Chain A
C-alpha cells in the first residue's frame, strides 16, 4: 500500500480540488479500515472525475467497490453496510443521477437513527459532484442541495477549495451522521496550496467562514459560487465598495451565528447560488436573517441564483449561472436602498 506521504504534495505545493479529495479519502481509509468506497466506475477508472484514482489499487476491491449501475442500490447497500459497522462513502456520478436514490437517502438513511431511538448509527457519506459550467448535457449540471437540506437527519455540506475539500471529506467520513457532500465539479481542476501536515482543520464541518472581510455588504455563497463572489468583491473594491464574502460550507445545519454576525456588521446581505432561487438556500437564509437581524438591515436580503427553469442547454448556461456582473448588480441594488 502506498503511503499518504507519497501521494501528498510537500508544504507549499499546490494541488487541485479533485486531488485534495482523493488525498482526504486516502487519509480516512488509512486511518479507519471500516471506511469503504462504493460507486460506479470508481475502481480501475478512478471515477469519471478520477477522484478515486489509485485507491482500488491500494486498498483492494473489498474496500473500493465498483457497483452495478443503480443509485438506489448504491445507497441501499451502503445503509446495510453502515448498520454492520462500516463507514461507506458513496460516489454519485453526477447531481442529476441522485434522484433514483432519493427514497434511500431521505426516507431511509436520514431517519433510521431517530426511528431506532439512537440505536442505529448511519455514518454514510454521499459524494455528489454538483453544479454547472462544464458544458455538459442535461442531468449533469444541477444543484439539488435544497432537497436534502429540507430533510431532517442529514448534514449537507459543500466545499469550495482544495484545503476545505481535503479536510471536509475527512470530517464528513468521521461524522456519525449521514453527510451529503457536494463537490463543485467546475472547480475540480482549480489549484491552491495544500499542506496536509498542517492541521487540525480550522473549522468544524458545521461552520461557515468569512473568506474576505468587508464593511459595506455581505455576500454569502457556497461551493462553485464562492470564487465568483470573491472575484466580484475584488472588482467592487476597485470601485470603492467593500464586500464581505462568506463561504457557508455547511448548508444543513446553517451556521447562522457567522451569517448574523456578518450582517450585523454590514447591514446588507446578498445570497448567491446556482440552484433556482424559489425555495432555495437563499430563501431560507433571507427568512432567517430577516428574523434575526430585522433592525440591523438597511435593505431587503437579495438573492442571486439560477432561474426557475430546467437547467438550460450548455450553449446558454452562462446566461443561467450567476456571474460576477449579476452579483455586482445585486450588490448595487442593495446599496441603493
Chain B
C-alpha cells in the first residue's frame, strides 16, 4: 500500500506563508483588525514566554522545558476559538493554549522548575493540568465530554450553555492505545470533543513515518467521525477549523479530529538533541513557513499596524519577560511537609502519622547550624 504523498492531501489554509489571504470554501471567518492584532500579540508573547523559559533552563533555573517554538499558530488559533464553557485537556507543551485560558506563565514554569506538579485550578481556567504520560488525557477529555452531555450542555437552544472538551496531543500520541480508545469512546457516545493533534513531525527522534502509513487526519474516518488537516502554522485557519469543530461538538453532532500540520522548530525538550536525527535543510524549509512572520507580513502590507504598534508590543514583551525571569528565580521552594498535602481528599491517620514523624525529624535539626 502506498503512503499518500503529502502534497496530495488537502490542507486548509487561509493565510499563505507569504502572508496572502486565500479563500477556502468551507472555512470562512471574518476577523476584525483588532482581532488580527490580538492574534499577532498572542503569537509574539507566547514565543517570548517560550524563549525566556528555554533561557531559564539553560541557566539552570528550570529542570527541563518543552518548547513550543514553531507551534504558536496551532495553539493560539485553536485556543482563541474556544468559548468560556469549553474545557481543555493538554499535554505538557500547550503553553500557548494555557495563555489563551488565562493561566499565568509562571504557573507553567513551576512544574518544570520542580516547585509543584501544576499548581493552577483546572476548573478556574477550564484548562486541565499538563499530562506527561502520552495520550492519557485524551480519555479524560472524552469522559469530561460525556459529563457535558449528561449535563444537557450540547444542542441546547441557548448557545451560551453549550460546551465541548478539547484534547491536545501530538503525532506520536496517535500510536498510543489510549488515544485510539478515546476515538472509539468519543465516536460511539457522540461525545462533544475536539481532538486537536499537533503533528509537529517528530516524536522525539521518531519521524511520522514510524507512526503512520497514512496522513493522520484520515484515520478519523475509520473511527466514524470527520478528520481535517489544517495548516498548523496559519493562525487564521487553525482558528476557523477549530471554531467549526467546536460548533459541531456543541450542537451535538459529535467529535472531530483536527490534524494541525506544523513543525517543532526546537528540540523535543531541552534534554534532546535534534541534530542527531534530523537534517538542517528540513528545519530551514520550515522556517519559511513561520507562523508569526506570515501574519506580520500581512499586517504590515495591509497597513493594519504601524511601527509604533510593533514597538509598543516589543515593550510589552520585554515587561512580560522580566516578569517571567524574576518570578521564576524568586519562586520559593515548597515546604517539605507540603508533599503530604492533598494526597487524599479525606486525610487518613497513617499518612498523618508519617507526616508528623517527618516534621519532628526536621524540627530536630533546628538550631543545629547555629551551634556549630
Question: Which A residues lie at the B interface, using CB under 8 A?
Answer: 36, 62, 67-68, 70, 72-73, 75-86, 88, 100, 103-104, 107-108, 111-123, 152-153, 155, 175-177, 206, 253-254, 256-257
Q: How far is the CA of A72 from the CA of B346 in the complex (A)?
A: 26
Besides A73-B139, A177-B344, A256-B350, 6 other CB < 8 A contacts? Answer: A36-B150, A68-B188, A73-B178, A76-B182, A175-B345, A175-B346
- In the complex, the chain B residue whose C-beta lies closest to that of A152 is B343
Residue B276 is within 8 A (CB to CB) of chain A in the complex: no
Pick from A81, A111, A120: contact of B146, CB under 8 Å: A81
Structural contact, B350 and A115, CB atoms closer than 8 A:
no
Q: Report yes or no: B129 in contact with A112, Cβ–Cβ below 8 A.
A: yes
**Contact of A84 with B346 at beta-carbon distance under 8 Å, contacts A73-B178, A73-B181 already known:** no
| Nearest opposing residue in chain A for B139, CB measure | A76
Given contacts A72-B178, A103-B133, contact A84 B188 (CB under 8 A): no
Residues of A within 8 A of B343 (CB): 113-114, 152-153
A-B contact pairs, 23 of them (CB 8 A): A70-B181, A72-B181, A76-B136, A76-B143, A77-B143, A84-B147, A100-B177, A107-B133, A113-B344, A115-B118, A116-B122, A119-B121, A119-B122, A119-B124, A120-B129, A152-B343, A155-B344, A155-B348, A175-B345, A253-B349, A253-B351, A256-B350, A257-B349
Given A76-B139, A79-B140, A253-B350, A68-B133 contact (CB < 8 Å):
no
How far apart sit A267 and B351, CA to CA, in the bound complex (Å)? 26
* Chain B residues within an 8 Å CB radius of A88: 143
Residues of A within 8 A of B350 (CB): 253-254, 256
* Contacting pair B341 A117 (CB below 8 A): yes
Nearest residue in B to A108 (C-beta to C-beta)?
Answer: B136
Residues of A within 8 A of B131 (CB): 108
The CA of A251 and the CA of B131, in the complex, are separated in Å by: 29
A64 CB, nearest partner CB in chain B, Å: 12
B52 close to A (CB within 8 Å)? no
Question: For residue B140, which residues in chain A have a CB less than 8 angstroms away from its CB?
Answer: 76-77, 79-80, 83, 108
Complex Cα gap A88–B147 (Å): 11
A250 shortest CB reach to chain B, Å: 9
Bound form: Cα–Cα A80–B123 in Å: 12
| Contact of B286 with A by CB under 8 A | no
Closest 6 CB pairs of A and B: A80-B143, A76-B139, A84-B147, A77-B143, A73-B181, A176-B345
Tell me the interface secondary structure of chain B in the complex: helix
Residue of B nearest to A86 (CB): B147
- Inter-chain CA distance A62–B146, complex, in Å, is 9
A86 / chain B contacts, CB cutoff of 8 Å:
147, 150
Q: Taking the complex as formed, is B185 at the interface, i.e. its CB lies under 8 A from any CB of chain A?
A: yes
A68 touching B139, Cβ below 8 Å = no
Q: B45 near A: Cβ within 8 Å?
A: no
Q: Which residues of B contact A75 (CB under 8 A)?
A: 139
Beta-carbon contact of B341 and A62 below 8 Å: no
In the complex, the chain B residue whose C-beta lies closest to that of A124 is B143
* Beta-carbon contact of B151 and A120 below 8 Å: no
Say yes or no for B144: interface residue by CB 8 A criterion. Answer: yes
Assess the B136–A73 pair: CB atoms within 8 A: no
Contacts A73-B185, A83-B140; A119 near B123 (Cβ below 8 A):
yes
Structural contact, B139 and A113, CB atoms closer than 8 A: no
A104 to chain B, nearest CB (A): 7
CA gap between A254 and B346 in the complex, in Å: 15
Query: In whole angstroms, how far apart are the Cα atoms of A36 and B150 in the complex?
Result: 11
B329 at the interface (CB under 8 A from A): no
A123 to B147: give the CA distance in the assembly, Å.
14
